[in-house]
Chain A
Amino acid sequence: AQTVTQSQPEMSVQEAETVTLSCTYDTSESDYYLFWYKQPPSRQMILVIRQEAYKQQNATENRFSVNFQKAAKSFSLKISDSQLGDAAMYFCAYRTDTGTASKLTFGTGTRLQVTL
């Protein structure tokens, strides 16, 4: 079974600094997709960034980038130039299709605080 682990329940970063959130996963599949979602206090889930497992190049979206290490099954999120609006819960997620099944599995989340 696929599992997603986020070992940092809480992280803190100063405004304008850089922070990295960790995520590891366990799978026997070779083809899959990884996502980072943000959940602000409003509880609305927002996609931050996605990564295809077959791509070696790390995905980047403005201030957000990932460090994808397929062999290590690691998928960390780096937030550069942190802003107060980045404060939220961040969830790492994994998705694969196995014929008739299509599961989207989330980690337990990391609460990010942004301080002045």
Chain B
Amino acid sequence: SQTIHQWPATLVQPVGSPLSLECTVEGTSNPNLYWYRQAAGRGLQLLFYSVGIGQISSEVPQNLSASRPQDRQFILSSKKLLLSDSGFYLCAWSGEVVNTEAFFGQGTRLTVV
């Protein structure tokens, strides 16, 4: 069966520090991968999505970046965190077929102080 792992679960980082959140998927190949951010009490904002290795589409221009070094690995990064980067980050994957649902990781609560 397919599983998705996202870590860390919680993270407290100072302003200006770098960020690296990792997401891996098991049990499937060539998944579509997504990074979302959910601010407190808000909806899910699509940050990045990827349909293949090295193929990254950005939805929101900001100081975050994403990379997909391997088929089932998706990394969210920042060189210098801002206070506004605080939030709940969710990684998700879905199959290539468009009617398949997305499966989500447990999320990372990031607090920038």
Residues of A within 8 A of B (CB): 6, 31-33, 35, 43-45, 47, 50, 52, 91, 93, 95-97, 100-109, 111
Contact = CB atoms under 8 A, between A and B. Distances in A.
Interface in B76-91: 88, 90
A43 B105 CA distance: 10
Interface of B: 32, 34, 36, 41-44, 46, 49, 51, 55, 57, 59, 88, 90, 92, 94, 96, 98-99, 101-102, 104, 106-107
5 contacts: A45-B90, A47-B102, A95-B94, A101-B51, A104-B32
Contacts of B98: 31-33, 95-97, 102
Given A33-B98, A50-B101, A6 B51 contact: no
Label chain B's interface by main secondary structure.
strand
A44 B34 CA distance: 15
A108 B102 contact: no
A50 B99 contact: yes
Given A95-B98, A96-B98, A100-B51, A108 B43 contact: yes
Contacts of B51: 100-102
